[in-house]
Structure 1
């Protein structure tokens, strides 16, 4: 009797769509660890656009120490090399298909890394980059000029933000959503109003905000549809010599001005954990103190991830 011969199927013969579904379960470290070099079919699957809509580095941190002079952080060489290597591999596999790019708030990107990234994902629509310590004015402006399709930006509170707002206004015609992580003063608000008057969504959650600044935003951004000031420490400065005070609730004048918005998201409850965190941190959140990933949350769904 003739023995039956078993037919084995090789991994490289697996349907590309099935491979892509499998690879979608991998994190960025696994996806860039070398599986693209197994065979040509695996590399083809690794380059599928479905895998590269988002480059999420929100769990990757720099190994750094704080220093007393600019840029106020020093990143060690091994950490720098790891990020550079991951970016090169990811951007090679993505073939320009990345639309969303997310960095951790303790991932300190350099000018060279940012420029390299911008040149290889020119169709970026959303950038989440909470730490700009090592990025210069020249570096971020060069990236913005490449990202003509940018629609959404999550950025830190910085001094003299006019240059970046002007760059966005001049180059990103579809820009509509801004999230600022950190205190927003009157000057910052005035810059947004000047250069981005057509912005539709603004999130300032978990930060310190002067009452007058909030009023200027409501008065100046006439196209604004959604404003999130949840868990903000809203400060009122009464006439001298009365001391400044934290508001426990918004007064009617602010509520009336905000009534034209489609959505005005607020929370100033003493019972709210996030409100208490903002007060304890005096409006400048120390996210490293809290549960990992908490900084990613936002009451506005387009900012949350």
Structure 2
């Protein structure tokens, strides 16, 4: 920059263009405390369209929690309160929301987001929710009409209803990530309700060749199918031929047998030989 010119003298549009590329830690703990000009620029909703909460450590003793508490004079950092802060600053413009894997997020947080982030296109849910919260996922998912991508770190109890809600309400939906036991009903509902699906990630799941065949046959527009490190199937010639129309089919590490030498099938999983 020219000699004598200061960062705080930059045009607001330029500052916003820079700040929108920063993480939530910088936007909440660093940038607002540099000067009044930076604080005002950081409040532009454009800076809060991508809400990646998974990159933050909400544990009481973490550097981020201690820094946030010090800046805002708080004894403890509440996840729900922080979520409401960043959602409020987005002013309804958030397009991507990624929950931490384990954050203590509740259905009340999801309901708040469903009302105040109506334009979400990408959503990644926490890995574990209470059963009563899990059962409300289909209802909440149906509110995001523009949803294009959903990541489920573990398959919820309400998976069938969730996929049906996506198929009924989310006309632009194109990518699903889920991990868990993918049974016959699961494969069938994916094929029936998400025929326009372009990307499906099932890595780390249990499913057989039959379930994969149902999905591939029903989701004719799949461009990428990722099923690495799965149990229950091995990519033989028949399966590879069936998936030959998919641009990218990743299956490395998937096998029929567990490390203990057991042949894993659905009844065996349910009887306790195979654990999630």
TM-score by length of 2: 0.74
Distance in 2 (alpha carbons) for counterparts of 1:43 and 1:59: 22
Query: What's the counterpart of residue 63 of structure 2?
Result: none
Distance in 1 (alpha carbons) for counterparts of 2:22 and 2:195: 41
Which of 38, 43, 46 lines up with 1:42 in the alignment? 38
Query: What's the counterpart of residue 268 of structure 1?
Result: 253
Distance in 2 (alpha carbons) for counterparts of 1:101 and 1:162: 22
Query: What's the counterpart of residue 137 of structure 2?
Result: 140
Query: What's the counterpart of residue 303 of structure 1?
Result: none
Query: What's the counterpart of residue 241 of structure 2?
Result: 256
Matches within 5 A, 1:209-288: 209-235=207-233, 247=234, 250-268=235-253
Which of 169, 172, 175 lines up with 2:170 in the alignment? 172
Query: What's the counterpart of residue 160 of structure 2?
Result: 162
Whose strand fraction is larger, Structure 1's or Structure 2's?
A: 1
Provide closer, same or farther for how the CA distance between residues 56 and 179 of structure 1 changes in structure 2, counting only shifts above 3 A: same
Provide closer, same or farther for how the CA distance between residues 147 and 37 of structure 1 changes in structure 2, counting only shifts above 3 A: farther
Aligned partners of 1:60 and 1:107 also within 8 Å: no
Q: Where does structure 1 lack aligned partners over 5 or more consecutive residues?
A: 1-7, 65-77, 236-246, 286-305
Q: Where does structure 2 lack aligned partners over 5 or more consecutive residues?
A: 61-74, 263-272
Provide closer, same or farther for how the CA distance between residues 118 and 269 of structure 1 changes in structure 2, counting only shifts above 3 A: closer
Displacement of 1:25: 6.6
Distance in 2 (alpha carbons) for counterparts of 1:84 and 1:267: 39
TM-score by length of 1: 0.68
- Map Cα deviations across residues 192-237 of structure 1 (whole Å, 9 max, x no partner): 12222221211111222222211222223223232111222234xx
Displacement of 1:33: 3.7
Aligned partners of 2:166 and 2:173 also within 8 Å: yes
Displacement of 1:15: 2.5
Q: Secondary structure at the match of 1:223?
A: coil
Whose helix fraction is larger, Structure 1's or Structure 2's?
A: 2
Which of 1, 12, 16 lines up with 1:20 in the alignment? 16
- Map Cα deviations across residues 147-168 of structure 1 (whole Å, 9 max, x no partner): 1100110112123422111211
Aligned partners of 1:36 and 1:42 also within 8 Å: yes
Query: What's the counterpart of residue 265 of structure 2?
Result: none
Displacement of 1:89: 1.3
Query: What's the counterpart of residue 65 of structure 2?
Result: none
Provide closer, same or farther for how the CA distance between residues 35 and 260 of structure 1 changes in structure 2, counting only shifts above 3 A: closer
Displacement of 1:130: 4.0
Displacement of 1:16: 1.6
Aligned partners of 2:99 and 2:126 also within 8 Å: yes
Query: What's the counterpart of residue 185 of structure 2?
Result: 187
Which of 90, 97, 104 lines up with 1:94 in the alignment? 90
Aligned partners of 1:114 and 1:139 also within 8 Å: no
Aligned partners of 1:207 and 1:284 also within 8 Å: no
Judge which range, 34-43 or 54-63, deviates more. 34-43
Q: Secondary structure at the match of 2:238?
A: helix
RMSD: 3.4
Aligned partners of 1:227 and 1:263 also within 8 Å: yes
Q: Secondary structure at the match of 2:145?
A: coil
Which of 142, 150, 155 lines up with 1:153 in the alignment? 150
